[in-house]
Structure 1
Amino acid sequence: MNKLFRSPAVDWPFKFAQKLERARDERLKQFYSQPLPAPDTPLSEVTFLAVDFETTGLNPNKDGIITIGLVPFTLNRIYLRQAKHWTLRPKQKLEEDSVVIHGITHNDIIDAPDLSEVLDEILESLAGHIPVVHYRRIERDFLDNALKVRLGEGIEFPVLDTLEIESQIQNKLAGGLWNKLKGKKPASVRLGQSRRRYHLPDYTPHHALTDAIATAELLQAQIAHHFSPDMPVKDFWL
């Protein structure tokens, strides 16, 4: 498959330089000062960081982050010993609907820290890496809004979105006149269904670290089946 996205790629190193000049919080200045991989770096040479959040809901403007899982990986290896997981106490009330989904209760978070108490460690883990997520509106928008609330300024960073990648793949596979005449529609791009297409095992969903590992494995499979590891990271980051 050729270049994934037709629109011009964001020049993230240049954007980070701009953000560094404008950032007021010292932690964000430190974050933006860490160099990203160059846009032309082959995927095979990048150490990614799979990231997953569990949240109290789906609206970053009124819901909060309750768990964060992350694990570094390359196209050939997942560094499980370097994986990290945090349980956080959100400012927002836990709703029954979300408890049913992620299984995290009030008792689990009563003694948990606020995001601000572990922010240094989280930003240090993210710095210099390209996060890989499954649906970027969760991880990117929730962290941005959480920092706006706590620091008075948000955060921006590149991501590879396995949901967007899989959506592009399935739309292409379902395209063409013959498929349209047959009424073929693109397949589901939810994390579990996407993994099954690559014969990856089922994991219990809605645990931040498990989902981060699942996302890392999915990207490895997507690149192996549909792309080349020699393609530049700029063809994929958003």
Structure 2
Amino acid sequence: MLSWLFNLDQKRKKLLEQAPEGPMKNFLGTEFPHRKLPIHDVPLLAMDFETTGLDANKDHLLSVGHVELLHEKLLLGSARHQIIRSNREMADENISIHHITHDQVADGMGLEKVVESILEALSGKVLLAHHAKVEIGFLQQACRRLYGMAPVLPAIDTMQIARKRLERLQQPIQANELRLFNLRSKYGLPPYRAHNALMDAIATGELFLAQLAHGSYSKSPPLKNFLLSP
């Protein structure tokens, strides 16, 4: 694990040498939070994408929501939600699930501006997401299209944290047990409307704070204990 963490920053520095001027270079030019930094002091960005599917190579982004966390608090004043413009046709299924209409997508913000704002918001922070490989995959694919390269992204995955906890307790994982809103219910967190990017980002942030609160830590553990493993 430690060698992977070192490699993450080495990859950032190597990519920085190749990055084009602009948002990608600015993002890679900012150091990641140190792996030994107490999680209490690590700036996090809880983020969620709504997409037309789970394959970043063929599906596309519909919306993004994100909110900052610091000192184990959600900074709701930092919350942002954006529908992403697309010329592609959406299936009726996507409209019914995400409650995003054709007109909203047509009037949304262009992908380049959205990705630029995401990279700016993520700069110097750690990504926090539920099933974070989805957010990482779609963001990296968008960056490849826009900048010809994909950034490395330190991330924390609330689903992986839950899975590891159950594995340590040697408890079987039930069907759908690791879904975001089922996990929130376990911690007594209130239900929110699903499939809204900002609400899911806030829901993920709250879940992570609940996971920390129930961790029975004598002191704030280091970032390295939570980072998404490869």
The TM-score with structure 2 as length reference comes to 0.90
Query: Which residue number in structure 2 is paired with residue 233 of structure 1?
Result: 223
User: 1:172: how far off?
Assistant: 2.4
Unpaired segments of 5 or more residues in structure 2? none
SS in 2 for 1:10: helix
Query: Which residue number in structure 1 is paired with residue 59 of structure 2?
Result: 63
Out of 1, 5, 10, which is 1:10 matched to? Answer: 5
User: 1:8: how far off?
Assistant: 5.1
1:151-230 alignment, distance < 5 Å: 151-173=147-169, 175=170, 185-187=172-174, 188-226=177-215, 228=217, 230=220
Larger radius of gyration: 1
Write the distance in 2 (CA, Å) between the matches of 1:39 and 1:82: 24
1:38–1:118: structure 2 CA closer, same or farther, 3 Å change rule?
Answer: same
SS in 2 for 1:202: coil
User: 1:121: how far off?
Assistant: 2.1
Amino acid in the other structure paired with 2:117: E
User: 1:230: how far off?
Assistant: 2.1
1:40–1:215: structure 2 CA closer, same or farther, 3 Å change rule?
Answer: same
Query: Which residue number in structure 2 is paired with residue 42 of structure 1?
Result: 38
Write the distance in 1 (CA, Å) between the matches of 2:30 and 2:201: 23
User: 1:19: how far off?
Assistant: 1.9
Equivalent residues of 1:43, 1:232 under 8 A apart: yes
Equivalent residues of 1:75, 1:220 under 8 A apart: no
Write the distance in 1 (CA, Å) between the matches of 2:197 and 2:157: 16
Instruction: Give the fraction of aligned pairs with identical amino acids, expressed as a percent.
Output: 34
Query: Which residue number in structure 1 is paired with residue 112 of structure 2?
Result: 116
SS in 2 for 1:83: strand
1:62-141 alignment, distance < 5 Å: 62-90=58-86, 92-141=88-137
Structure whose residues are more often strand by fraction: 2
Give the aligned CA root-mean-square deviation in angstroms. 1.8
Amino acid in the other structure paired with 1:219: F
Amino acid in the other structure paired with 1:198: Y
Write the distance in 2 (CA, Å) between the matches of 1:132 and 1:150: 23
The TM-score with structure 1 as length reference comes to 0.87
Write the distance in 2 (CA, Å) between the matches of 1:44 and 1:63: 36
Unpaired segments of 5 or more residues in structure 1? 1-5, 176-183
Cα deviation code 1:99-129 (max 9, x no counterpart): 2211112111111122113332221111111
1:59–1:91: structure 2 CA closer, same or farther, 3 Å change rule?
Answer: farther
User: 1:9: how far off?
Assistant: 4.4
User: 1:203: how far off?
Assistant: 0.6
